[in-house]
Amino acid sequence: MKDLNNHNSPFINFNQRINFKFDGVKYYGYKGDTIASALLRHGTKIIGRSFKYHRPRGIYTCGIEEPNALVQIVSEYSEPNARATIKKIYEAMEVESQNRWPSLDFDVGSINNIFSPLFSAGFYYKTFMGPHKSFWKKIYEPLIRKAAGLGKPPKEFKAISSHLHHNVDIVIVGGGLNGLLAASSFIDTNYDVLLIESDNQLGGILNNSSKINEIDGKKPQDWVKDTIENIEKSKNIKILKNTLLTTYNYINHLIAVEDKYVGAKPAEDKVNSTLHKIRSDHVILSNGHIERFLSFQNNDLPGIMLGASFEKYVCRYGVIPSKEPVIFSNNSNSNSLLQSLLQLDIKPKAYVDSRSGEQIESELFDLIRKNDIPLYTNAQIKAAYGNKKLEKIVIEDSSGGTNEIATDFLCVSGGINPDVHLFTQSKGLLDWDEKDLTYKPSKPFQKTINLGSASGQFNFEEVENEINKKLKIFKLKKIKVEINLNSPSKYKIQKLWEVSPHKPSMWSKSFIDLQNDVTTKDIRQAISEGFDRIEHLKRFTTNSMGTDQGKISSINALGIVSDLLDKKVNEVGTTIYRPPYAPLSFAAIAGRNSYEFYDPERKSPIHQWHIKNGAVFEDVGQWKRPWYFPNSKSESMHDAVQRESKNVRENAGILDGSTLGKIEIKGKDALQFMNLIYTNSFTKMKPGYSRYALMLGEDGMVKDDGIICKISDEHFISTTTTGGAANVLACMEEYAQTEWPNLNVYMNSITEQFATFNISGPKTRDIMREVFSEIDFSNETFPFMTFQFHEYQKTQIRIMRASFTGEMGYEIYVPANSASKIWERIQEVGKGFGLIPYGTETMHLLRAEKGYIIVGQDTDGSITPIDLGLNWMIGKTKTDFIGKRSLTRSDTVRPDRKQLVGIIPSNKEDQIQEGQHILLQEAFQTPVPMLGHITSSYHSPTMGHTFGLAVIKDGHRLIGTKAFASTSEQKTIPIDIVKPIFYDEKNERLVS
Amino acid sequence: MREVIRSNDVEIKTFSTHQIIIRGSGNSEFNNILNKKLKLLPPSDNLRIVSDDNHILAKMSFDQWNLIFLNDNKDFKVQKICQDFNEKASILATNFSDAQVFFQIIGINTFYMLNKLTHFDFREKNFKAMTAAQTLVAKIDCNIYRLENHILISCNRSFADYFEDRLIDAVNF
Amino acid sequence: MLLIDCPYCGPRDQSEFSNGGEAHVKRPDGSEEISDREWGEYVFIRSNPKGLFYERWVHTHGCRKWFNCIRDTSTDEILEVYKLDDPQPPMKKFENKIKTPSGEPDVGSGNFTVKK
């Protein structure tokens, strides 16, 4: 085999061989190689099969724009769709080709190519319609799912990624010639600068081509080295290499992904990639340009490559993909390719230029003549042929005459486009340049500066001027740079989008989007079918979709469409470029906010005690709450809850209620404020008393409930539900600040300051008397719904006589640091009285027996206090409170609202199921009339059967009647609708 | 103080201490109590910190001051200061001594490590020494106090384990 | 991700804030003289313009203070931030500054080059 190495490339270490596998076959490359450059070293042409027609495809480009050479990295959790053109190889790397079965060489799916009429534009929408509706779900969809998609999703996903935020003044995107010059001008200034480069080498065009001979009198590589050295010395500039900017959001918020393992196997226990989230004052886009291709028959054959990419392989990667390629171009950018080849004594087989002899630069003309290279001017490549890879091309001249040339390689250039993706993500406006035939940035929307070819400025002689002009706002020292060129300084191009759409054979296709297998014929068809708006055309044909987003071809499509519609390209417009610039992995997006850090966890001050005592935990918002305490490994949840509930009713139980929200409210106008926030009136309430209260939204619906303690007219303490704590505080603050700023009132959350123990049951008073021996717990001095402050073991505690279980009980508020000590003391004393700890499930059961609602379970934001039968809680004499006026709106006073009732099964052995429908007839039929549903249901150990709470239309009137409840088996069971209270209706136990 | 981690040029210690959250209009009544009790003059600028050997007093907003006691204090003494403030109807002083945990972070990589967890701009020009801020760190609400040579972060005690794990993770990864 | 200039804490990331909808909507007091319609409009009806909008925000994960701003809903630009007790600034001064972002053409979704 011929030696395809260019040993002059300084970026490849030819002394360090690296072995890897491609489709199970051993290959080697050198340190610095990408998968693509290593395979090209071996003359490998086919690297994948295409998406739709399964045509063989090769390496088309040398960078992020690659449409074809996507591979699966087996050795990295089988990461799919890695671009072979940027992914660097490492020892023992395993790579597989995609979209082929059973093998790359012989692919069954390629039969699609023969049936290609079936797969033309819009085929999804047309082909899979008949003969019956069920065909889609049963036949077409599974088939399409199997065949569609690029690559296979990885089976496991463990890559570690982290996030890093930056706040800077300037971000420079792209470390090429302009990026380096811009960065240099910020050296030792007061600006914080971040220079982001996607490659592992800074230098861009200076590394990738031989366009520049000397810069400031130095060879390009030396200049790059010196420049980087100077930049690195400057403390205000940070360089991020191997970092791809994917997203440009509003207010210069950028997202970039850094690959931490370039040319090395990612370590399993280290960060593989970092997602940088950057906020900057200004963004300088110097991210260069992308070469575009040209459409002709079979322009997808392996062996066809973009001209600038070919040159990049030669210069940057030290590999010569072919020693006698044909060059086909319509512009001056390909001149340097010829230069690079001639420097290595490689003579192209032919140079085909669509421009006339007069238009071609004289330097190029002379060079071609001097080296005796066959030159075809005014000529185009009409078609390429070959069995699985390029074998010959057909050249057509202006008179229609054709020439066939046998060749295994073709370099194509259709011109260059500024890489405007990021600029348009930033909402900048583009404008079509008729001379350079491309969209260029015109009006920035944010503080964005475009430099160099990214701004559409393709002339190296203008570089110094442009930078000095555009960076003037920063008041920097002006730069001076002298660039000595190898190739012509001015960029010239002749219009050419597609050569002869004529189709010589069934197999022949002229592609406009290589990744999605969209042909120019599809574009024509879409337009003839009326999809002539560019966004419609994109969706109908899938042109410029996929992982490459048509980076080398979307402008060509616009050109073709503008010709077909006889409109200016500016009138056709472009489709909008959305983030990300290139795909990024979910691991990078998730960062460390996954697994154990997915959501913050909150723990009560006595969490450790719960763990020690075998609690099973339940997530309540972010809180970990004991759900139940099984007494042995074999005890089921049902048994534990029945036992706990029974014990509370017979002896006593204690619940860790520390998660309940607690808010301290104080101010001269606190009383007035509380009267406005809650439905109840607190005016006549005596200090030292507490009251169950409801909070509504302005729509009159119940938002939260809790107990309010009145210390004085100026000082209150509210409790809230666990889940509502943040919202209630936020609501109070909102009204205090926005609606009633005239009221003098302040509020602080004291949820975290105090642990709360809810102790209840007939033996509670005995336990309390023994633990807090100095306090008088008699009904006379400590009646129901009062509270007292006490000193206990040198801390201040608050005890409130209240209960959520229906048994007599207390809520004990203790400073969190003393919580464990006091909790353990109560357990110790309580043991002798049969006290047990219980969890949230038992709490739910006991409160439901008593008919106490849980906001959010028995209410759902459409329930008023009247619907709950809690009319007594509404302060009748108050002129205003949040939601008051809504309680008399026509909708809230209509009789058939859903109202809270209790239900019990008529046959006691039937199980009432939470969430099921209430029906008025026995038959179960769909659709179920939406009369209401069961909001809570439990099995009561006291009653010996299940019971429930439900909201039913006109429920209050239906109390005392019979109805039916649906079951998960789609049957019904008869139920009795009763008052929503099942236990101690007279509250005798509560106040005993 | 308990050492959480010392690695990668960051040293993190955790502790709990007495703290009072004072709310009010910041009028002379408020200044008088503060002056009499602690001999401190409250900062007038928002987000500024004043401190002496025993206290950090930070103005967190136009109606909120966080008073942190650095050295061991008796519970009752702090409670007494709270009560003195609360005697005024238009001031709310909440004893917050049990509500939060503190993390003291020292080292040249402090801000680099924290920027893995928060978007907050720690640059000297935007977050000067002896200023405070309230922001999100690792998705939870935190107070950050930038003192002369180190920073203090406080978060609610229920998050303490989670937050400590996140800090360790940020130092290690 | 917006950068919002809290009048008390300075510019902070949007993730610290919560949006409070339209500003300067006066709450009628709870008196019965207010008609169902009038009250219903207060509770349920807000304007939703494309362009300049008086809007409320709260610095939820910061100082917890409410403030108002003028935001251009078509570009997300926050043109002025002001405290609750500051006078309502006139929109007029921004009317000439309204920019439409690209992607807002007469036809199609992203055909922004058409609009000029």
Q: How far apart are CA A363 and CA A357, in angstroms?
A: 12
Q: Does B144 touch chain C (CB under 8 A)?
A: no
Nearest-CA distance B133 → chain C (Å): 8
For residue A713, what are the CA distances in angstroms to A692, A745, A883, B7, B80? 17, 11, 23, 53, 21
Q: Are A211 and A460 in contact (CB under 8 A)?
A: yes
Number of H helices, E strands in chain A: 28, 49
Token duo for residue A728: 């209630």
pLDDT band at C108 (very low <50, low <70, confident <90, very high): very low
CATH topology assigned to domain A158-290+416-490:
FAD/NAD(P)-binding domain (3.50.50)
Tell me if A814 sits within 8 A of A804, measured CB to CB: no
Interface of A with B in 186-225 (CB under 8 A): 192
Cβ contact (<8 Å) for B89 and A753?
Answer: no
Higher pLDDT, A120 or A899: A899
- CB < 8 Å to A279, chain C: 3, 13
Q: How far is B165 from chain A (nearest CA, A)?
A: 9
Q: What is the pLDDT of residues A763-805, one digit of tens each?
A: 999 999 999 999 999 999 999 999 999 999 889 999 999 999 9
pLDDT digits (tens, 9 = 90+) for A868-916: 999 999 988 898 999 999 999 999 999 899 999 999 999 999 999 999 9
Q: Which residue of B has its CA nearest to A190?
A: B125
Residues with Cβ within 8 Å of A600's Cβ and at least 6 positions away in sequence, in order, are A622, B138, B139, B140, B159, B162, B163
* DSSP per-residue codes, A487-520: S-SS--B---SBS-----SSS--BEEETTTTEEH
C114 has pLDDT over 60: no
> Cβ–Cβ of B135/C64 closer than 8 Å?
no
Q: Quickly count helices (H) and strands (E) in chain B.
A: 4, 11
CA–CA min distance A934, chain C (Å): 29
Chains that touch B (3 or more CB pairs under 8 A): A, C
Query: Can you name the CATH fold of A1-154?
Result: Ubiquitin-like (UB roll) (3.10.20)
What is chain C's mean pLDDT, rounded?
Answer: 84
Tell if the CB–CB gap between B139 and A602 is shorter than 8 Å: no
Phi–psi pair at A328, nearest 5 degrees: -130, 120
Per-window interface: B 60-119 vs C, CB < 8 A: 60-62, 64, 119
The Cα–Cα gap between A831 and A820 comes to 16
Q: At what angle do helices A534-541 and A520-528 cross, to 10 degrees?
A: 120
Are A163 and B116 inside 8 Å of each other by CB?
yes
Q: How large a percentage of chain A has pLDDT more than 70?
A: 95
Q: A535 with A511: CB under 8 angstroms? A: no
Note the pLDDT of residue A559. Answer: 95
Within an 8 Å CB–CB cutoff, is residue A881 touching chain C?
Answer: yes
Most trustworthy range by pLDDT among A1-5, B28-32, C57-61: C57-61
Same fold, A1-154 and A894-992: no
Minimum mean pLDDT among A300-314, A707-721, C98-112: which range? C98-112
User: A258 forms bridges with which residues in the sheet?
Assistant: A243, A274
Let me know if C74 is exposed, middle or buried by CB neighbors in 10 A (0-12, 13-18, 19+): middle
In the predicted model, is pLDDT for residue A349 greater than 70? Answer: yes
Tell which phi-psi region holds residue A657, choosing left (phi > 0), alpha (psi between -120 and 50) or beta. alpha
DSSP label at A698? T
Question: Which residues on chain C are in Cβ contact (under 8 Å) with B47?
Answer: 9
Say if C98 is an interface residue toward chain A (CB within 8 Å).
Answer: no
A775-778 contacts, C-beta under 8 A, 24 or more apart: A775/A799
Q: Residue C101: pLDDT above 60?
A: no
CB C57, CB C18: distance < 8 Å: yes
Which residues does A418 contact at the CB level (< 8 Å), separation at least 6? A288, A289, A438, A439, A440, A441, A450, A453, A454, A455, A456
Q: If you classify domain A511-572 with CATH, what class do you get? A: mainly alpha
Report the SS3 class of residue A381. Answer: strand
State the average pLDDT over residues A171-194: 98
Average pLDDT of span A807-834: 97
pTM of the model: 0.94
3-state SS class at A126: helix
By CA distance, what is B113's nearest residue in A? Answer: A164
Please count the residue pairs, one from chain A and one from chain B, whose beta carbons lie less than 8 angstroms apart.
Answer: 119
**CATH node for B19-95:** 3.30.70
How high does pLDDT run on average in chain A? 93
Q: Among A490-504, A513-527, A590-604, B43-57, which is the least confidently predicted range?
A: A490-504
User: Counting beta carbons within 10 angstroms of the beta carbon of residue A54, is it exposed (0 to 12), middle (13 to 18) or buried (19 or more)?
Assistant: buried
- Count residue pairs from A and C with Cβ separation < 8 A: 107
Residue of B nearest to A726 (CA): B141
B5-36 b/e with 16+ CB inside 10 Å = b?
beeeebbbbbebbbbbbbbbebeeebeebbee
Residue of A nearest to B125 (CA): A190
A272: nearest CA partner in chain B: B173
Question: Could you say which of C13, C16, C63 has the minimum Cβ distance to residue B60?
Answer: C63
Residue type, A8: N
Chain A touched by C56 (CB under 8 Å): yes
User: How far apart are the C-alpha atoms of A662 and A673, rounded to whole Å?
Assistant: 17
Closest CA to A865 of A855, A879, A877, A850: A855
What is the total residue count of chain B?
173
Q: Is A21 on the interface with C (CB under 8 A)?
A: no
Domain A293-414 CATH superfamily: FAD/NAD(P)-binding domain (3.50.50.60)
H/E segment holding residue A653: strand A652-656
d(CA A68, CA A61): 9
Give yes or no for residue A659 having a pLDDT over 70. Answer: yes
Mean pLDDT of the region A343-363: 94
Residue B41 scores a pLDDT above 90: no
Contact C9 B64 (CB under 8 A): no
Strand partners, A28: A19
Phi, psi (deg, nearest 5) at residue A727: -70, -40
Which pairing describes strands A715-720 and A243-249: parallel, antiparallel, or unpaired? unpaired
Model confidence at A925: pLDDT above 90:
no
Judge whether residue C99 has pLDDT over 70: no
CB proximity B173 to C under 8 Å: no
**A980-985: average pLDDT:** 95
* pLDDT in the model for residue A958: 96
pLDDT at C110 over 50: no
pLDDT class of A101 with cuts at 50, 70, 90:
low
Q: What is the model's pLDDT at position A129?
A: 60
Other CB atoms closer than 10 Å to residue A767's CB: what's the count?
25
Distance of CA A762 to the CA centre of its chain: 54
CB contact under 8 A, B61 and C10: no
A899-908 pLDDT, tens per residue?
Answer: 999 999 999 9
Residues A603-611 have a mean pLDDT of: 97
Question: Cβ contact (<8 Å) for C34 and A739?
Answer: no
Q: A628 near A615, Cβ under 8 Å? A: yes
Backbone angles phi and psi of A513, in degrees to 5: -135, 110
More confident residue, A117 or B168: B168
Alpha-carbon span A915 to A907, nearest angstrom: 19
Q: Return d(Cα A581, Cα A579) in angstroms, integer.
A: 5
**Per-residue pLDDT, A563:** 94
Radius of gyration of chain B (CA): 16
- Bridge-partner residues for B48, per DSSP? B131
Find the CB nearest B99 among A277, A666, A816.
A816
Lowest mean pLDDT of A47-51, A432-436, A502-506, C12-16, name the range: A502-506
Other Cβ atoms less than 10 A from the Cβ of A191: the count is: 17
Domain ranges of chain C: 3-97
Assigned CATH for A660-752+784-793+860-884 = 3.30.70.1400
Q: Over range A835-842, report the average pLDDT.
A: 97
**ipTM for the complex shown:** 0.97
pLDDT for C30 equals 65
pLDDT at A58 over 60: yes
pLDDT of C79 > 60? The answer is: yes
- DSSP string spanning A15-59? EEEEEEEETTEEEEEEET-BHHHHHHHTT----EE-TTT--EE--
What's the whole-number mean pLDDT along residues A358-363? 91
Element (H, E) at A841: helix A840-849
Asked if residue A655 lies in contact with residue A846, where contact means CB atoms within 8 angstroms, the answer is no
Question: Within 10 Å of residue A863's Cβ, how many Cβ atoms?
Answer: 22
Distance CA A185, CA A169 (A): 14
The CATH architecture of the domain made up of A894-992 is Beta Barrel (2.40)
Which of A272, A269, A393 lies closest to A322, judged by CA?
A: A393
For A615, other C-beta atoms within 10 Å of its C-beta total: 21
Nearest residue to A175 (alpha-carbon basis) of A183, A186, A167: A183
Which class would CATH give C3-97?
A: alpha beta
Share of chain B above pLDDT 90, in %: 80
**What is the amino acid identity at position A9?**
S
Architecture of domain B2-15+99-172 in CATH?
2-Layer Sandwich (3.30)
Residue A132: which region, alpha, beta or left (left: phi > 0; alpha: psi -120 to 50)?
Answer: beta
Which residues, listed in sequence order, are joined to residue C18 by a DSSP beta bridge?
C58
A146 compared with A340, residue with greater pLDDT: A340
Q: Establish if B63 touches chain A: CB-CB under 8 angstroms.
A: yes
The DSSP call for residue A743 is S
Parse chain A into domains and list their residue ranges: 1-154, 158-290+416-490, 293-414, 511-572, 602-650, 660-752+784-793+860-884, 894-992
Query: What pLDDT, on the 0 to 100 scale, is given for residue A124?
Result: 62
**Longest C-alpha distance within chain C, in Å?**
55
Q: Using CB atoms, pick whichever of B61, B119, B126 lies closest to residue C63.
A: B61
- Band (pLDDT 50/70/90 cuts) for residue A443 is confident
Q: What is the pLDDT of residue A949?
A: 97
Q: Give how far B22 is from chain A: nearest CA, Å.
A: 9
